[in-house]
Amino acid sequence: MSYRLMDEFTDAGFNMIDTADTYTVRVPGNTGGDSERLIGKWLQRSGKRGQVVIATKVGGTLSEEKKGLKKDYILRQVEESLRNLQTDHIDLYQSHYDDLDTPIEETLEAFTELVKSGKVRAIGASNITVDRLADSIITSEDNDFAIYQTLQPEYNLFDRERYETEFEQFALINKIAVIPYFALASGFLTGKYRTKQDIQGSSRAKYLEKYFTDRGARILKALDDVAAQYNSKPATVALAWLLTRPGITAPIASATNPDQLKDMMAAASLKLDKGDLEILNAASA
């Protein structure tokens, strides 16, 4: 199914696939790199490496010995990701989590070496504070290091406050491309989960519990109302809303079947009008 989804995604004209060296590491029997390896096998099978932008991450915890953003670890780990992905370069290499125990200069020096070597084309940051991001940019400018070109924060129609108050203007001023994760709030904004009973037994339950509030219900109703006007789906509308937001380059969302993927891809062509945006913004205020 994963190969089919990536085939359909790229055949429709979309081209960025985001992963990380830690994805699926918590699944029993997995040791890390499993998502990268699956993508690497698909790249070889499909012959589409030249058509896609591959983004992966380093710094998440694989084990007590394999985590963080120290230079020697980054330089070792990138080789593992390249092998997993079966490619000679990574288009976007991102720090997965900030590492307060490692000097910013050390991390950026490692990324700079990778960019100069051609193994990495661009770098980005995820799960970082705006102050640390600002310090990183200043450090890059002062030392002629590679500079963070992307930011991957949590941002969606429900989770708005932190990004909009802390990051939005900073990203715009510094021309940082924003590629938010949890764009569908762990699936809540698809409308699949309407009550707490709906998430019982779900692997996403711990992420979804916070959304079952009066505000969450208002947001789902607004999504339903706007979607009905276009014969569309809540997920499509939620992603289309994100695409109207200042500085957003591409929201990140995951699909487990072709119908979900179709709903997500439809967001690129759904043009919400001023009235739609007012409804959605009022519900999520």
Task: Identify the three-state secondary structure at position 149.
Answer: strand
Is 252:18 a contact under the CB 8 Å cutoff? yes
Which entry of 23, 73, 193, 211 is annotated as an active-site residue?
A: 23
The number of domains in the chain is: 1
pLDDT at 232: 98
Query: Can 207 be counted among the known catalytic residues?
Result: no
pLDDT at 201: 77
Question: Domain of 77: which CATH number?
Answer: 3.20.20.100
pLDDT at 58: 98
- Give the range of the structural domain holding residue 143, as residue numbers without chain letter: 1-152
pLDDT at 25: 61
Give the pTM. 0.94
What are the residue ranges in the chain where pLDDT is below 70? 25-27
pLDDT at 26: 65
Residue 238, number of CB atoms within 10 A of its CB = 32
Residue 111, number of CB atoms within 10 A of its CB = 28
Task: Find the largest Cα–Cα distance for the chain.
Answer: 54
The pLDDT tens digits for 62-110 are 877 788 999 999 999 999 999 999 999 999 999 999 999 999 999 999 9
pLDDT at 63: 77
Beta strand ranges found along 146-214 (DSSP E): 148-152, 177-178
Q: Is residue 209 part of a domain?
A: no
Q: Is residue 263 part of a domain?
A: no
